[in-house]
Structure 1
Amino acid sequence: MNFTLNQLEEARRALDAPLFANLSGDAHVSFEFFPPKTEKMEQTLWSSIQTLAPLAPRFVSVTYGAGGSTRERTHATVARIVKETDLAPAAHLTCVDASKAEIEEVVRAYWDAGVRHIVALRGDPSEPGKPFAPHPDGYANAAELVAGLKAIAPFDISVATYPETHPEAASSQTDLDNLKRKLDAGASRAITQFFFSPDTFFRFRDKVAAAGISTEILPGILPVSNVAQTRKIAAMCGASIPSWMDQLFEGLDDHPATRQLVAATISAELCRRLYAGGVRNFHFYTLNRAELSYAICHLLGLRPQTAAKEAAA
């Protein structure tokens, strides 16, 4: 029987060791949630937090709506995490529609509640489609916000970065310059916008290193279960969805369980390839659901800490 080169390559891959065999469990993770709007959504969120907490995340972040629209709910969620769990929460904060005095009031309340980590963002305008305009008495950008936060209290600060370039940036170089300003202002790490190709992250990591930036760049992973929703978000933040991924979800609108399996497979393979490239820290955009993130973490070798301790005893 004759085999093409492509068939031989596929056969070689199939006969190699399984992708997730014998991983040492040395990966570290963090999770992002958003503040719930309803009681039912709150139950879903807390169920997800309880499911993911035993994986001992480095931190869990809680998002902040455009224009500060979720300020109270974000604070309430973060405060509850501090009060009811052993997790380290990171509160998102933006510059939008807030004076420096208002931001100081918010962050001092966080500090008093025991929060020591802020994800500092410029933020999206409160009115979609309109360009960002700084508050007359506020911070003009995320770099200024980082410096302002550091002047208020010694927060651990994370910032955002865009492997495929922020849609408002004049060029990839100006986007990289902006990242450097945020890190120079005192940020400890940058969390990337989601992406779906490992090469996207590796190329960006090389570019960051070439620019003399040695600060941690944390890849943001979005396990996709709703392609239409993901496409909408991706269009807003400049992330590209590969055609092959679109094709894998075709015909699955009425098959939610199958969509979950496909989504977990795609995201797990992405994380495994990142792991092979030396990545050991992953940040998951959970959309307040635990199943996909938990499955991927399990494939990466992570196990609940309590179970691990009992097994070692």
Structure 2
Amino acid sequence: MNRLDHIAGREPLFAEARGDIAVSFEFFPPKTEKMAETLWESIQTLAPLQPRFVSVTYGAGGSTRERTHATVERILKETRLTPAAHLTCVGASKGEVDEVAREYWDLGVRNIVALRGDPPEPGAKYQPHPQGYRDAAELVAGLKKVAPFDISVAAYPECHPDSSTKAFDLENLKRKIDAGADRAISQFFFSADCFLRFRDAAAAAGIDIEIVPGILPVSNVATTRRFAQTCGASIPKWLDELFEGLDDLPSARQLIAATVAAELCGQLYAGGVRCFHFYTLNRAELSYAICHLLGVRAK
């Protein structure tokens, strides 16, 4: 057999992308004026792609909560985008969380990303607040009592670090769905097969809502490794090796990051995925480039 027979007649990976894709983006609230400028430049760059929503992350500390609220409010008032505010169970009573949710509803926010949240101290074991919501399922149920929010929850293709088994992890996801969640957004991953198998396992477990893959374009492996340790994601050896020797070549890192993430998205598209959620880290270039390859164009 000719070496080229196995690829003869195949279309390029992105040739079939016809603009039938919906995207969403995640940002985090800025800590400084310079970071605020970068964030708003990114929002303005990505806004013409007409994302379904843009989410803003949320920390357990009071000042972080205030920055999240301020960022969500600015998106709501100064853009046509739909903001989705993150809420967690960490460090707050049910009454405090409900009050934040009511303030969001009164402000005009209709979308929430409901998460259990990580312990404030890295490496510490999660402990629910004595008067708080114990987990994300309880949080979802509580938020639905406050107002009819559109609620997204987290899903873990490689299993949450605190889950004993994948079956237990799926059971926990189903609890969140039964509590009223409208969709799940997955933690990042680097194997299309990993996500597609998880999607099939979720369907077999009776989970019938939309599960959106979370895509993290990697330009800094050390940062990605730190994220992965908290969420149970694995970083394949080949990905580590791709970025070796590029510490002083940021443009090369960007090109490789875009290539890797775009190919992952192309494989997911071939597997029937039509919605993607990008963890932008407040930078627009990589997510914009990947969206462009997928056929998502500015409108």
Q: TM-score range by the shorter chain?
A: over 0.9
Provide, for residues 78-135 of structure 1, a one-character-per-residue CA deviation record: whole Å limited to 9, x for no partner: 0000000110100000000101111111111101111001100010111222111111
Q: Which amino acid aligns with 1:256?
A: P
SS of corresponding position for 1:283: strand
> Among the aligned pairs, what percent are the same residue?
73
| CA–CA distance in structure 1, aligned partners of residues 277 and 36 of structure 2 | 21
- Residue 71 of structure 1, aligned match among 42, 57, 65: 65
Q: Does 1:268 align with 2:259?
A: no
Report 1:211-226 matches (<5 A): 211-226=205-220
Q: Does 1:167 align with 2:158?
A: no
| CA–CA distance in structure 2, aligned partners of residues 178 and 81 of structure 1 | 32
Residue 178 (structure 2) aligns with = 184
SS of corresponding position for 1:70: helix
SS of corresponding position for 1:8: coil
| CA–CA distance in structure 1, aligned partners of residues 175 and 43 of structure 2 | 33
- Residue 150 of structure 1, aligned match among 144, 147, 158: 144
**Alignment CA distance shift 1:125-1:99 (3 Å):** same
Shift of 1:21: 2.0
Residue 55 (structure 2) aligns with = 61
**Alignment CA distance shift 1:205-1:8 (3 Å):** same
Q: Does 1:34 align with 2:28?
A: yes
- Residue 97 of structure 1, aligned match among 80, 83, 91: 91
Residue 251 (structure 1) aligns with = 245
| CA–CA distance in structure 1, aligned partners of residues 117 and 99 of structure 2 | 18
Q: Which amino acid aligns with 2:76?
A: V
Q: Which amino acid aligns with 1:87?
A: L
Residue 289 (structure 1) aligns with = 283
Residue 3 (structure 2) aligns with = 8
Q: Which amino acid aligns with 1:303?
A: R
What are structure 2's unaligned runs of at least 5 residues?
none
- Residue 108 of structure 2, aligned match among 82, 97, 114: 114
Shift of 1:66: 3.6
Shift of 1:23: 2.0
Shift of 1:281: 0.1
Residue 304 (structure 1) aligns with = 298
SS of corresponding position for 2:141: helix
Q: Does 1:52 align with 2:43?
A: no
Q: Does 1:127 align with 2:121?
A: yes
Shift of 1:229: 0.5
Contact 1:67 1:123 in 2 (8 A): no
The two structures have a TM-score, normalised by structure 2, of: 0.97
Count of paired positions: 299
| CA–CA distance in structure 2, aligned partners of residues 123 and 66 of structure 1 | 8
**Alignment CA distance shift 1:162-1:22 (3 Å):** closer
**Alignment CA distance shift 1:125-1:243 (3 Å):** same
Provide, for residues 203-251 of structure 1, a one-character-per-residue CA deviation record: whole Å limited to 9, x for no partner: 1011001101111000000000011110111122110111111111111
